[in-house]
Chains A and B, each alone.
Chain A
Amino acid sequence: MALSIEDIKKVAHLARIEISDTDVNATLIKLTGILGLIEQMQAVDTTGIVPMSHSQELSQRLRDDVVTKTNQRDEFQKNAPLLGNHSTQQAIADGLYLVPKVIE
């Protein structure tokens, strides 16, 4: 499968990764290389083989439904970013984390 510049930009946008126009070509070449490896693997006959979902042959352990976490909001909110590049104020208010306005 041949990737286009547009594919790279779309994937980068979905992952919110900023790729400058000068880097797009290099990224295209690298990703095309990875897809080439995948194409080689897809040529192998895997009829009758159950797809692997995890590299370890183990099953998920379950946790008892008991509250073990306490309220550490004040500690966690010390990590909140600043409101802007030149601000000294953290992006928190009334216990909420603040982010640029999202509109549905």
Chain B
Amino acid sequence: MEWEVVIGLETHTQLQTNTKIFSGASVRYGAEPNTQACEVSLALPGVLPVLNKQAVHCAIKFGLAINAEIAPRSVFARKNYFYPDLPKGYQISQFELPVVGKGAVSIQVPAQGKLAAYEKVVNITRAHLEEDAGKSVHGAVEGMSGIDLNRAGTPLLEIVTEPDMRSAAEAVAYAKKLHELVQWIGICDGNMQEGSFRCDVNVSVRPKGSEALGTRREIKNLNSFKFMTQAIEYETRWQIETLEDGGKIQQATVLFNPDTGETRAMRSKEEANDYRYFPDPDLLPLIITEADKARISAAMPELPEAMKARLEVQYGLSSYDANALTTSRDLADYFVATVNAGAGPKQVANWVMGSISAKLNTEDKNINASPISAQQLAQLLKRIADGTISNNAAKQVFEAMWCAEGDVDSIIVAKGLKQESDSVAIEAIIDEVLAANAAMVEEFKAGKEKAFNALVGQAMKASKGKANPAQVNDILKKKLTA
């Protein structure tokens, strides 16, 4: 039987705020245990939650970015469960009336094997504000668990999709797109190691062509795209094998073990899903007016989709280039700054996505940490365009600039990379080459086009790579056809 996998994601994005969602305690990462756990985080008797304005603004920004309905009135609810890292005995979340309603994110699924790249729309069901729980630390004291409540109350936006994805590749393409988007609009730092962006993936399988959804298992807390791919592929295989062997899928929460590459059901928490939600009487309804939305909308950056379209129209970039350059706002800004400093858009795109991205990847750096500024890159490209240096020499200059050996012009001088553009000097070189390679000249005249390239190569070699290749071509052509 042919099977189809059905995937939906729930992503917890930690919102970029200074303080917790319901108290003025800091959310700075990496503090000593419980030094940022105030009386609200500890759930001491008599404390009350007061909602953080910035967290609400982040939620509105996200809603605007995915073209979603933003609820004029949304309600906080208590999600009741017992766990030591949740001292109140309930998590404040949103249930029936979330702040962000239905929206959509369009994704580009990269080519895999024979399957070409394609675009797809993933529908967002909702996004709601909630607080994070604390952290359990094991092994500090024998037989006990340690509780650190610094993270308790950290603002989260949980973003839930429809079960729209049909492969691990689609799920990862969506997760990456969302990861780019929340950073682009400045609501999340995207730091996956620190847990700022965590995905729960719901996976089920069904016979291809069937309408009914299979029973799903939820893979919890994936914090890398690589693990997400592995976990979904393993889980899909496991479910298909189980069904083909005549077994049944039990709804369950599973964990992915990166060491074995397998998923494993968590010891099912008894009645874990009986959360007994009800509206939190400590919090009034959250009202968002049209004026609030308009004010935040006016302060929003240009969105990646809009910028991609603009790069194509304004700078004549291909869809592929424009897409790659709008994966992060910093990268897009760097591109625009380089073009504005006087370099040709296509050249800038090639260099940013080629040499610069390669270096950044190797050194695991962000474009902001590039040792070559947009102005410096523009200067380098100008020196190629005005014929001062060849493309090959430019690569050497680039390496030197990356190691902070100086500005473009001083490196060209220091390394003696200036291109020979004096036509008299080039003619002299070519004359020598022609005289020394009479056989090749004969071959060319006999119709062997390849001989021409060989002669260009000889001339370049004779000039120690400094001759302007375009000029060498022109002069050689003239002399041979004269």
Contact = CB atoms under 8 A, between A and B. Distances in A.
A79 B38 CA distance: 13
Interface string A79-104: 10000000000010111111111111
Contacts of B352: none
Interface string B285-313: 11100000000000000000000000000
Given A97-B147, A102-B83, A102-B136, A66 B19 contact: yes
Given A14-B82, A63-B52, A102-B136, A54 B274 contact: no
B34 A65 contact: no
A4 interface: no
B281 A54 contact: yes
A91 B144 contact: yes
A67 interface: yes
B370 interface: no
A99 B52 contact: no
A103 B89 CA distance: 18
B145 A66 contact: no
A60 interface: yes
Contacts of A61: 50-51, 284
A10 B274 CA distance: 10
Interface in B6-62: 17-19, 23-26, 32-39, 42, 44, 50-56
Contact of B146 (A59, A76, A93): A93
Given A53-B285, A73-B35, A95-B35, A62 B56 contact: yes
Interface residues on A, range: 35 or more
Contacts of B18: 65-67
A21 to B, nearest CB: 20
Contacts of A66: 18-19, 24
B146 A60 contact: no
A27 interface: no
Contacts of A77: 34
B82 A16 contact: yes
Nearest to B15: A65
B279 A53 contact: yes
B34 A96 contact: yes
Nearest to A96: B146
Contact of A96 (B38, B50, B147): B147
Interface string B245-274: 000000000010000000000110011001
Contacts of B17: 65
B203 interface: no
A98 B82 contact: no
A64 interface: yes
B140 interface: yes
A100 B287 contact: no
Nearest to B33: A95
B143 interface: yes
A67 B18 CA distance: 7
A94 B33 contact: yes
Given A62-B51, A65-B54, A95-B33, A54 B284 contact: yes
A60 B284 contact: yes
A104 B284 contact: no
12 contacts: A60-B284, A61-B284, A63-B51, A65-B18, A69-B24, A69-B36, A76-B44, A94-B33, A96-B140, A97-B34, A97-B147, A99-B147
The 3 closest A-B pairs by CB, nearest first: A96-B146, A68-B24, A65-B54
Given A14-B276, A15-B82, A68-B19, 7 more contacts: A61-B50, A63-B50, A63-B51, A67-B26, A96-B148, A97-B34, A99-B145
